[in-house]
Structures are given as structure tokens and as C-alpha cells.
Amino acid sequence: MIAQATTEGTISSPSSKDPVLLEVEQLTVAFGRQVVLRGINVQIRRGETVAILGESGCGKTVFLKTLVALQRPTKGRVLFDGRDLFQLRPHELAEQRIRMGFVFQQAALFDSMTIGENIAFPLRQHTRLTEDEIYEVVKARLLEVGLPENVLRKKPGEISGGMRKRVGLARALALEPELMLYDEPTTGLDPIMSDVINELILRTRRQHPVTSVIVTHDMRTATKVADRIIMLYPLTRLKPGESQILYDGPASEIESAADDRVIQFVRGEARERLMEMAREESENAVEIGGAAHG
């Protein structure tokens, strides 16, 4: 894989010899009769940054939630550092989650708390640091995401969406996790603020020995911050027996992928999808007509 150069230096890419941190084996998730993920097999190595791409409804966020055991699989296993998360006792699972940081799509800050209290929350829950020590960590994390100290006393409703995203990142970094998970980190942001978030993800990787998984629709985010891209496809649009993973490879090579569906997604080309939708509408109309005559 190609190392990524940034304005602050070079990020070395992970090696195939690096140990596996996350392993997903035959993962299937269904909600009643609706199967969202089927037979997913993925390995993610320490230090790797992986972007999960795919259109709405393909199961990206569900996949992300299974990685931290927020969503139980119908079948299969999720191994974190060799341990099956869904076989752990509650206190053991809590211990493993301390090693993970989750940046939610809408930041998921506590509205009743100040920014400082939000960032300090995991430190107060999971460490024995003094209040002075917590304050120093909070200030350091705030500085790391490029926010001034004067926001500490503000409430989430008093700052912009982009600032809330950065506070969410600061809170996720508070315990210096080994694994960072991002759910649509640039959704709802303008292009400039989106790139600020991308740069912060890169900075996090430079400053911490972290493995990252990023769910996104944003091709710029995926190609800028990831070593590797995995593209999922909706099960309802696959042929029988076809893998739900259309692409799993270097970010630098996705634009030359062999599968036309990957290229169409990368380029944002809707022609084939529109034709597919027209066929579906025609088939539905025939079925409805047949049922009416029956």
C-alpha cells in the first residue's frame, strides 16, 4: 500500500505482517425476514485505516455497530484482539469497549452537559484521575481537534455542527483508544469543514497508534484518509450467491476496479441505477395489474 503524504509529514502504511486487530467471520445480520448483511468476512490489521463505502441501505452502519457489539449478529463472529465480543460477560465487554472510540454521525453529545463535561465524561467513568488531571487531558484533546479553550463552558447547542463533530472526536480520543470507529464523520458539513474533519482523522493517526474504521458516502474522505476501501452492496440487488463485498483493496486503486458497479459509485453515475429502478417499477406494475385481474 502507498504511504499517504500530508502537510504535516508522511504516514506509513500498515504491513501485511502486522497482527490482526479485528476479524469478522461469516457475519450475517437480519431484522426479522430482512437480511441486511450476509456472510461478511473481513480482517483489519493494527494501524490500518479502512473506509466502508456503499449506498444507503447496504448495511454500513449496521456493520460498524457489530464491531463494538452494539448490534448482535444473527450468525457469525466478531473477534477483537482474538476475543469473540459476543461471548464476553458484560464486565469483560465493558473492558474491551474502553479500548475503542466511537464518533457518532451527529456527535451524540449530552445536551445538558458543557463541552468540557462531555469530553471529561469517559475519563470520570473509567479512570481514577483527579479533577486537575482530567482537566489537563480535556484541554489537550480540545487543542488536538483545533478548538479554543473558551468553548469548554459552552453547551452543545451553542456551537456549530462542525465544532460538535470535533468535540465528539475529542471525547472519543479521551481514553487514547486502540480502535477508532467513525460513522459518517463528514455528513451535513460544507466542503471546507469536511476537509477539516478529514485532516483531523489523519492527524489522529499520526499522533496515536490507532486502527480506524470509517463508514462514509464521501469518496473524498475515503480516498484521502484510508489505506483500504471495502465497498458493500445491497443484498436485494445482488445475484444469488454473489458476495456483498464488491471491492476490498487499496484506496489508490478503487477507480480502476474491475466491477462496473464500483466505478459507477465512485464517479457518482446514476444512469444504470435509474434504468434498474425503471425496470423494478415496470415489474411492480405488472404484478399489481395481475393481482387486480386475479
In this predicted structure, what is the pLDDT of residue 270?
62
* Residues facing 9 on adjacent strands: 6
In this predicted structure, what is the pLDDT of residue 8?
46
CA distance 59 to 38: 10
For the chain, domain boundaries: 1-93+214-257, 260-294
In this predicted structure, what is the pLDDT of residue 118?
93
Question: pTM value?
Answer: 0.82
In this predicted structure, what is the pLDDT of residue 208?
84
- CATH number corresponding to 1-93+214-257: 3.40.50.300
Give Cβ neighbours of residue 152 (< 8 Å, ≥ 6 apart).
114, 115, 116, 138, 139, 142
In this predicted structure, what is the pLDDT of residue 209?
85
In this predicted structure, what is the pLDDT of residue 5?
35
Which pLDDT tens digits describe the chain residue by residue (294 residues)?
Answer: 333 433 444 555 665 677 999 999 999 999 999 999 999 999 999 999 999 999 888 999 999 999 999 999 999 999 999 999 999 999 999 999 999 998 887 768 888 999 999 999 999 999 899 999 999 999 999 988 888 899 999 999 899 888 898 899 999 999 999 999 999 988 888 899 889 889 989 988 888 889 999 999 889 999 999 999 999 999 999 988 899 999 999 999 999 999 999 999 998 876 665 555 555 556 555 556 555 555
Tell me the HSE value of 167 on the side-chain side, using a 13 A CA sphere.
32
Residues present in the chain in total: 294
Helices (H), the chain: 60-67, 90-97, 115-126, 131-144, 161-173, 191-207, 219-225, 260-267, 271-293
In this predicted structure, what is the pLDDT of residue 188?
82
